[in-house]
Structure 1
């Protein structure tokens, strides 16, 4: 559970965050040159830079942020960002906040972070149901950051703490912040859920005294294991290297790090997933059960990988977002 001291501290930190958040210009959301957007779908404009003085551990040769539009359909965007140097949250505010927030971590195999399919689409959907949503554009381990395989976790920890620090600004209760991750973003989510207290960066302000533990965590066709053949080979190579030792594999496999403090968990996977085998979710579920952590699991016979919202339409898997909301209510999320 989030300790009482952290919750009380968050109220004090809100005052600090409120006075500084509007003073500094924030990095805009990632976008393609010229901004070819989906007609009728509003683009977000509000962002929060995670690191006011720049992300720690910058490589000697900093990456260059590039956004690609991969869609061949004019009515369906599929942007992806590479080389993030200014990790940030893109904010989706609901018309009527229900007091709960979701930190969304899109996938991309640790070589990119997708924008639309596993970011903005689920953010719009959740915001329409009262959730305040923060889509995280995290740094990538293959870009040479000092934190190495912990660099995305650093961003996720900092993001969770900033959301709590600014909870009052967004009509959010600090104890009702969920984490949701897709594919490789599901691995970031698993790292956050199991290693939320691991020190991966030096504190920079009062927000870093807050807990980074999500109240609940949702993993959607998530990368979890770093051991072949269950591991997604591409994510594994980007995160820990092709020749990683068994010890390094275990250190970055969330199932190996589950404890009784891991938050209640919601799992979604398709059994015919050709990219991230369903065993990733099954092994994680087994570890949660062994530790006594509540876990809700939904396996679909068909659906493949990366279905998000758009490719689940018309299939049984399209029920997963409603199933998540129903489950979240049982965990105290309004």
Structure 2
């Protein structure tokens, strides 16, 4: 799909009065613990028009913790999400590409700033419309259990495509990037984008949830110990999970022929999510002849995102991703 066609679609929707309005959407996660260190996004998209499916009998309460004590840096984490939503970063001049961002947090919470808003703003500065996903957590009692985050990611991808004309997006150029446990979600989306994890709720669910490319960054991949990140595993499938459940939620064991090309980043000195996770995914992709680009850096640790990679070999990863995504046709 070309930019001209996208522009024509945008004009057609506006003429038909079908432009999507931001009114009545749930605001972004916020906290009064520290004032925002930078301008905050305000536009959001709720995923589920009649509420998220499978609500627990006792719903969790959304809570945002500010973990930073530096007034110049925000480091927020949110849990208890009952209204999963995307926060939108719009570029001044959209180039037609879009990225769904799934931050990490060990499936205990969803990181707001260092793996969400920082990348969203960075991509928007480069013409890419970014959507930061605040997904539900699997251990908080949702009926879908371990598939709960994937349900939100699938629905998010479909909504982005549904609203592509409104945002000036080419629906054939919607990518996914995820970090740590959010990298697991990104890889799970790449592997199981078509898995029926929820009952369709409207016409949006007839659209594909497949990202054109996926970039799991220092991702949790294996659910088998000792490779698995223990906290992510416990929160996703439980401490006493069966081998069958481990395999069902280990993306490298679910790669399909139509899994999208993947871009992997990890640091050798990651002592939280060991680098073997990315290597297992790489090998599984290559075994199915899925294009994969891998960058294994000597230093970077875990959770470096953008700002925390500065001065380290891993700091170059965002530019490497853009270069690779252009080559794959996901960005022009």
Q: Shorter-chain TM-score category?
A: over 0.9
Question: Superposed, which structure 2 residues align to 1:38-53 within 5 Å?
Answer: 38=37, 41-53=38-50
Give 2:165's aligned residue: 168
- Render the CA deviation track for 1:265-285: whole Å, top value 9, x for unaligned: 000000110010000000000
Q: Which one of the candidate residues 260, 275, 278 is aligned to 2:275?
A: 278
Q: Is the 8 A contact 1:123 1:135 kept in 2?
A: yes
Question: Superposed, which structure 2 residues align to 1:245-256 within 5 Å?
Answer: 245-256=242-253
Deviation at 1:259, TM superposition (A): 1.3
CA distance in 2, matches of 1:163, 1:85: 20
TM-score normalized by structure 1? 0.94
2:161 aligns to what SS in structure 1?
Answer: helix
Give 1:118's aligned residue: 115
Q: 1:212 to 1:18 in 2, by over 3 A?
A: farther
CA distance in 2, matches of 1:15, 1:264: 31
Unpaired segments ≥5 residues, structure 1? none
Q: Which one of the candidate residues 192, 207, 210 is aligned to 1:210?
A: 207
Question: Superposed, which structure 2 residues align to 1:1-334 within 5 Å?
Answer: 19=18, 21-22=20-21, 24-33=23-32, 36-38=35-37, 41-332=38-329, 333-334=331-332
Q: 1:18 to 1:272 in 2, by over 3 A?
A: farther
Deviation at 1:19, TM superposition (A): 3.3
Q: 1:19 to 1:61 in 2, by over 3 A?
A: same
CA distance in 1, matches of 2:32, 2:55: 25
Deviation at 1:311, TM superposition (A): 1.2
TM-score normalized by structure 2? 0.94
CA distance in 1, matches of 2:19, 2:165: 14
2:18 aligns to what SS in structure 1?
Answer: helix
CA distance in 2, matches of 1:271, 1:299: 7
Structure 1 residue ranges, 4+ long, deviating more than 2 angstroms after superposition? 14-21
- Render the CA deviation track for 1:219-240: whole Å, top value 9, x for unaligned: 1100000000000000000000
CA distance in 1, matches of 2:13, 2:196: 25
Unpaired segments ≥5 residues, structure 2? none
2:139 aligns to what SS in structure 1?
Answer: helix
CA distance in 1, matches of 2:197, 2:304: 32
- Render the CA deviation track for 1:131-177: whole Å, top value 9, x for unaligned: 00000000000100000000000000000000000001111000000
CA distance in 2, matches of 1:18, 1:291: 45
CA distance in 1, matches of 2:137, 2:40: 24
Deviation at 1:21, TM superposition (A): 3.6
Q: 1:26 to 1:315 in 2, by over 3 A?
A: same
CA distance in 2, matches of 1:275, 1:321: 21
Q: Is the 8 A contact 1:18 1:169 kept in 2?
A: no
CA distance in 2, matches of 1:188, 1:319: 23
Q: 1:44 to 1:301 in 2, by over 3 A?
A: same
- Render the CA deviation track for 1:166-222: whole Å, top value 9, x for unaligned: 001111000000000000000110110000000111111111000000000001100
